[in-house]
Structure 1
């Protein structure tokens, strides 16, 4: 009898220990893994790195695996093939997939950046810059069909400049090689992302004279997106993901460029802190970081205007077809 009672007590103690292990500590059993593919590693995406570094995803019960997929086409291929669960890429890529008649459309659910992230850099220092001074010059632009190039052309047309006729437009240089091409003497002007623009300034090889982000207006420039089938099957995960994104957005809004830089620097081991601070401050000042995850309909339409102007839009996509704001709206409540 005593032996049976001892065994029962021992079994009860073991069960309590198992239950405690399941409910306490890291809660690994309940953690959901989400594979993110980012189109490039960029300070433009600072809120994403803040969310990772400050355990905002982890607090939502998510374990994120971040991969740099290097290019919009590769990012979308990885998403469509199931190599990643969520893509951080320009919304235009979801529209390109839509134009091809996909049975499982790509849905934008949480916006991260709301302007173009490139700057106009001149080889020579210019005092009072006038966009018309680009006429007749050699302009080293971004890849044709990509959002940076389309935003660049949209801006030029806004100032009455025909990109194909009024200047010599170079757009066949690979994205990663554009800064080196300009530094080696190609072009009189170049369209660059940060931190390359600020590095050019620091090295005395170029001068930032205008912002394409400011000129082209607000756009759903970089957005977290997933296949409709993934969202339908993982609504709770997508909601938790969006919660973490919004927490990071609020943190970025409330903290200085210096504080943000110190959090994201581990993601940029070769970067100089003063450059990182300068870049983040520049993006904050021009409102590039979205303040909430909502993909606004007016911005969505502006994006399609930019694509249409560049001749890259076959069919306009209704906001409701490729955007799901329910997760963003819930976190705002």
Structure 2
């Protein structure tokens, strides 16, 4: 009997970790750049590491997530690395501590009859281009492409169309000529014959054609103040997320989709699996932030953001690898 009681106690402790820490994590959208976060959720890794996670989903995008973090209504955000640079230019310390997506993941798509030819950049003139929102990474994608080819945003019309299904519908219905967006939208467009991919930033070569190099995107970030006050909590979040990244690279797209929370999967399952397969090259395997790669977002932002261009940005203050490095040591 005593052994049975001890076994029951042990199983209860595993199912309901004692003294689970509450942490609020905000996520800006369901684009696949953020995929490692819901994978960690679906695998129960945050609970495994002693966390009780309250998730706030801001479907309108990363800017709302960033606002929530700076305002203190969330503890940690799943957002894009370039936000940390923008915040430093405003004298706010926001620090990335796990990298989820090591590359852009953005594509530029057009309808089947599109007349834009990336080999002839001037053919983009007059196009109505859908982006997720003004000031977003998709906005910078277009503007930097134009800048590098001697064109300007006056040569096109930039229209906010969101992401996912609404973005696909805007292209399909002819409200826009071109669309810059992420998976699963990118895969849905090709699988359903709605359009074709003209520039593919999911690959290193595609990113280089736009930015001149890979463009780190999705990260976990927090204010420096929160990190300083709650290093153990941040470490647990890092441990769970790094474990999810490793798991993703050891499993098939089908297995990845199987563990996702239902509300994360958009469209039919088979198309979504293909989208995950197409996006896999962008995901970090270890969560490490490369100090060389983050120079690309700084170059892009300095072109379009006056505050960033005028500021003396210290990239070393925008990220830390100490938590993921400790995660790696603990896993050995």
Q: Give the TM interval when normalised to the shorter protein.
A: 0.7 to 0.9
2:153 is matched with: 164
Return closer, same or farther for 1:321/1:24 CA change in 2, 3 Å cut-off: same
CA distance in 2, matches of 1:240, 1:25: 16
Instruction: Determine the C-alpha separation between the residues in 2 that align with 1:300 and 1:199.
Output: 30
State the match for 1:91 in structure 2.
81
Q: Which ranges in structure 2 are unaligned for 5 or more consecutive residues?
A: none
**CA apart distance, 1:92:** 2.0
| Count of aligned pairs | 310
Cα distance in structure 2, aligned partners of 1:297 and 1:28: 36
Report 1:150-161 matches (<5 A).
Answer: 150-158=140-148, 160-161=149-150
Give the C-alpha shift of residue 152 in structure 1: 3.1
Q: 1:192 Cα deviation (Å)?
A: 2.1
After superposition, the Cα gap between the structure-2 partners of 1:73 and 1:107, relative to the gap in structure 1 and judged at 3 Å, is same
Cα deviation for residue 320 of structure 1 reads: 1.9
- Could you tell me which runs of 5 or more consecutive residues in structure 1 were left unpaired when the two chains were aligned: 1-12
> Which stretch of structure 1 is more off in the superposition, 267-276 or 69-78?
267-276
Of the three residues 218, 234, 244, the one matched with 2:240 is 244
Measure how far apart 1:44 and its partner are.
2.6
What CA distance in whole angstroms lies between the structure 1 residues aligned with 2:255 and 2:264? 15
Task: Tell me by how many angstroms 1:63 deviates.
Answer: 1.7
1:116 aligned to 2:104?
A: yes
Structure-2 residue corresponding to 1:277:
273
TM-score (normalizing by structure 1): 0.83
In the TM superposition, what is the alpha-carbon distance from 1:39 to its structure 2 partner?
A: 1.0
1:302 aligns with 2:296: yes
1:122/1:209 contact within 8 Å kept: yes
Alignment of 1:208-223 (within 5 A): 208-213=197-202, 214-215=206-207, 216=211, 217-223=213-219
Does the 8 A contact of 1:123 with 1:205 survive in 2?
Answer: yes
Q: Are 1:260 and 2:260 counterparts?
A: no
Give the equivalent residue in structure 2 for 1:147: 137
245-254 vs 185-194, which deviates more? 185-194
How many Å separate the matches in 2 of 1:135 and 1:74?
A: 30
Structure number with bigger Rg: 1
Structure-2 residue corresponding to 1:175: 162
Q: In the TM superposition, what is the alpha-carbon distance from 1:241 to its structure 2 partner?
A: 0.9
Equivalent position SS for 1:93: helix
Q: Which region of structure 1 is more displaced relative to structure 2, 121-130 or 43-52? A: 121-130
